[in-house]
């Protein structure tokens, strides 16, 4: 257990990420790359910026990916520990499984959220309101796919409604944003060693038992990276500076694009901002990368190829004259010369696209 003054967080990182398949068949969602950095690196940097230096990752699925991507996170200025579930315990059981390592008021975060929210302000509200559990609430245009949260005028929570389907059930547009501040002793209410849901079981029971719980509604950038389109959109948001993240892409910023170096850019190759070119990437003659392109480390873009609005993971080979538009390409994919890969296409790692093929979403 950490000392009373060390601020702590638990990150839920054990889901299978079914909506983000096929990308998550090959890599756990919490460490899919965003501008060539693992998603959780952004959360850890945000936590660090708000004084949290001790983080426990509640893991279950593809734990080795998470360890390989983050290690002990010393480079991010936090101490990172892993607690592994033998069987997935859900969002409630996952936090409970990590509860022996935490004390005080701790942040609990879903590992698939990208936000620049002012967590210091969240803590202030938690302390001044006498809240024992504070939930970050986010307004969204269409709340149907999320859990709705109802609060009174003072912000005290009144109830939850999980993924409503009927119009009359949609009584608010604020949703549970997947970031909480919880007084650690309350975690003892979650049963140990069995699957449970923090949203559907733990929070509703707190409210039913009259324990003060408050909502916190900041004006902040927030996105849930659960689907391929949200995953790509989040990177365009980062590229366009729509989120104030304490973490920038690796390398040097030149004319609005980030270039990590160690690769080769042919003299006539064009990098159109905003874009990111990973370490060791090679750009061939007369190719055009961007706007809105992310080229993974060690990828190679052939001569006359065009990559626009597309996210490429590591070591992708793009043949001469190929065109990639608004798509997502997993690691080690080979795209043949003059192939066309269109909007919404998601290519799983290792896929091979023949020369002159056309793939549409």
> How far, in Å, CA of 215 to CA of 154, rounded?
9
Number of H helices, E strands in the chain: 7, 32
Examine residue 197 and tell whether it contacts ligand GTP (CB under 6 A). Answer: no
Distance of CA 86 to the CA centre of its chain: 23
Examine residue 201 and tell whether it contacts ligand GTP (CB under 6 A). Answer: no
Secondary structure class of 221 (helix, strand, coil) = coil
Secondary structure class of 82 (helix, strand, coil) = strand
CB of 54 to ligand GTP, least distance (A): 18
Examine residue 14 and tell whether it contacts ligand GTP (CB under 6 A). Answer: yes
Q: Name residue 55's beta-bridge partners.
A: 9, 80
Examine residue 89 and tell whether it contacts ligand GTP (CB under 6 A). Answer: yes
CB of 30 to ligand GTP, least distance (A): 6
Name the residue nearer to ligand GTP (CB basis): 94 or 298. Answer: 94
Q: Given candidates 34, 38, 40, 85, which one binds ligand GTP under the rule CB under 6 A?
A: 85
> How far, in Å, CA of 72 to CA of 80, rounded?
5
Examine residue 60 and tell whether it contacts ligand GTP (CB under 6 A). Answer: yes
Examine residue 191 and tell whether it contacts ligand GTP (CB under 6 A). Answer: no
Q: Given candidates 26, 79, 88, 286, which one binds ligand GTP under the rule CB under 6 A?
A: 88
Residue 70 tokens read as: 């983050």
Q: Given candidates 12, 34, 114, 148, which one binds ligand GTP under the rule CB under 6 A?
A: 12
Three-state SS letters, 323-334 = EEECCEECCCCE
Examine residue 29 and tell whether it contacts ligand GTP (CB under 6 A). Answer: yes
Q: Given candidates 2, 6, 16, 101, which one binds ligand GTP under the rule CB under 6 A?
A: 16
> How far, in Å, CA of 224 to CA of 12, rounded?
13
Name the residue nearer to ligand GTP (CB basis): 24 or 332. Answer: 24
> How far, in Å, CA of 12 to CA of 7, rounded?
17
| Nearest-5° Cα angle at 234, 315 to 91 | 100
Touching ligand GTP, residues 207-226 (CB under 6 A)? 226
Q: Given candidates 31, 35, 43, 90, which one binds ligand GTP under the rule CB under 6 A?
A: 90
Which residues of this chain interact with ligand GTP, rule CB under 6 A?
12-20, 29-30, 58-60, 85, 88-91, 94, 110-112, 226
């Amino acid at each position: 257990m950490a000392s009373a003054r060390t601020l702590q967080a638990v990150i839920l990182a054990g889901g299978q990420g079914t909506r983000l398949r096929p990308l998550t068949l090959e890599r756990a969602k919490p460490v899919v790359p965003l501008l060539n950095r693992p998603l959780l690196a952004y959360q850890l940097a945000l936590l660090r910026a708000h004084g949290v230096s001790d983080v426990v990752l509640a893991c279950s699925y593809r734990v080795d990916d998470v360890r390989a991507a983050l290690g002990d996170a010393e480079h991010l200025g936090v101490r990172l520990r892993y607690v592994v579930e033998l069987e997935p315990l859900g969002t409630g059981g996952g936090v409970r499984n990590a509860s022996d390592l935490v004390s005080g008021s701790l942040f609990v975060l879903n590992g698939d959220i990208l936000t620049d929210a002012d967590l210091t302000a969240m803590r202030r509200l938690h302390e001044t309101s006498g809240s024992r559990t504070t939930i970050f609430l986010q307004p969204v245009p269409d709340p149907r796919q999320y859990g709705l949260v109802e609060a009174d005028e003072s912000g005290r929570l009144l109830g939850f409604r999980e993924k409503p389907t009927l119009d009359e059930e949609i009584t608010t547009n604020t949703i549970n944003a997947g970031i909480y501040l919880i007084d650690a002793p309350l975690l003892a209410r979650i049963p140990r060693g069995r699957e449970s849901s923090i949203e559907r079981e733990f929070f509703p029971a707190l409210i039913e038992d009259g324990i003060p719980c408050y909502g916190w509604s900041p004006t902040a950038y927030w996105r849930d990276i659960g689907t391929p389109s949200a995953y790509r959109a989040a990177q365009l948001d980062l590229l366009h500076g729509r989120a104030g993240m304490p973490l920038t892409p690796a390398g040097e910023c030149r004319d609005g694009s980030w270039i990590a170096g160690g690769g080769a850019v042919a003299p006539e190759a064009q990098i159109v901002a905003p874009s990111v070119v990973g370490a060791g990437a090679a750009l061939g003659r007369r190719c055009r990368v961007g706007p809105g392109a992310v080229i993974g480390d060690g990828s190679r873009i052939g001569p006359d190829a065009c990559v626009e609005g597309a996210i490429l993971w590591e070591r992708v080979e793009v043949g001469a004259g190929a065109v990639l538009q608004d798509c997502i390409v997993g690691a080690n994919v080979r795209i043949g010369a003059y192939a066309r890969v269109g909007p919404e296409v998601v290519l799983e790692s290792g896929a091979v696209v023949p020369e002159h093929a056309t793939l549409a979403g």
